[in-house]
Amino acid sequence: MGRFMKNVEREEKMGMVIVSGSANRPLAEAVCGCLGIDLGRAVVGRFADGEVRIKEFPHVRGKHVVIIQSTNPPAENWLELMLLIDTAVSSSAKSITVVMPYMGYARQDRKDGAHSPIATRVVIRMIESILANIPSMLFTFDLHSSQTQAVSARPFENLFLSSTLLEALKDSDWANTVIISPDAGGVRRARAIAERLGSDVAFVDKRRTGPNQSEVMNLVGEVRGKEAVFVDDMVDTAGTLVKGAESVMDAGAKRVVAVTSHALLSGTAVQKISDSPIGRLIVSDTVFIPPEKKFEKLKIVSSASLLGKAIRRIHDGGEVSPLFDQAFSWL
């Protein structure tokens, strides 16, 4: 009881309340543990037909509300987020920070056909319409494309998890390691990481034949006799990643490791990776990974500490950018 009262007193002093939807409560609880406060009691329920409703919500009048909710499928995760935001607004929150550790629909950030929607723009505008005129900002990790930040009229912070994940490989011989992007779109990210580590860089030139489908065309860069580390923002069906790993091993690499921020692991992804030449898959906990998707090659690294530091800076009116400067401090 004493610890609970101390946490309540600290929460009152901070003027901040953190709540979570049901997408990834363990991460939200871990973040609160890093900040030394209790997770606000926001209870998301369902009617008999599955309709989402907010059953309980903490007292937030005049406070800074931080809502943590990843928006990976099912789409109800997005709806939960919208309802939590609206509840905070109608409860007279002073300001709101919307934290999506993983932002779903970020891949649909451009037209890929004459009559296709730009889904990224749609979901961000939905959030903004609910936030109305309340001071607010959006926060996420490793957007699929940084141009998504330009869609929002609100402050939108995008922090990278690469350093946190790569620390699991800190004893590697980086001079004999190649950082690899699984496609041309991620070359900029791979090059920036390789420069910090003193490693070479390569990428897989591929042709995409449809959503979640790709055909490896060519490996650009030298990998023979070296450790190969694939770095990407997400692993979904793992088709691209596995084909890329096979092409790298065929080119003479000694070993392949994959580092990816968001582990969606859809369909047969777990089996594909288990049967592939990938020696280890290092991911974060931005997406909740159920027991049935955990396997021997998988290593999960917590993002809670970094997220907690970011939330603290946002609440105190500071800049998040110093966290970029602290990246790779373990080198």
Task: Give the residue numbers annotated as catalytic, written as ranges.
Answer: 206
Closest CA to 81 of 67, 95, 94: 67
**Residue 131 in tokens:** 């936030």
CA distance linking residue 271 with residue 269, whole number of Å:
5
Q: Which two tokens stand for residue 214?
A: 């790709």
- Assign residue 37 a region: left if phi > 0, alpha if psi is -120 to 50, beta otherwise? beta
Specify whether the backbone of 170 is left (phi greater than 0), alpha (psi in -120 to 50) or beta.
alpha
Helices 76-90 + 119-131 axis angle, to 10: 20
Dihedral (CA of 36, 41, 46, 48) sign: positive
Number of CB atoms found within 10 A of residue 290's CB:
7
Distance of alpha carbon 52 from alpha carbon 45, whole angstroms: 6
Picking from 55, 56, 54, 62, the residue whose alpha carbon sits closest to that of residue 134 is 62
- Dihedral sign from CA coordinates of 161, 164, 169, 174: positive
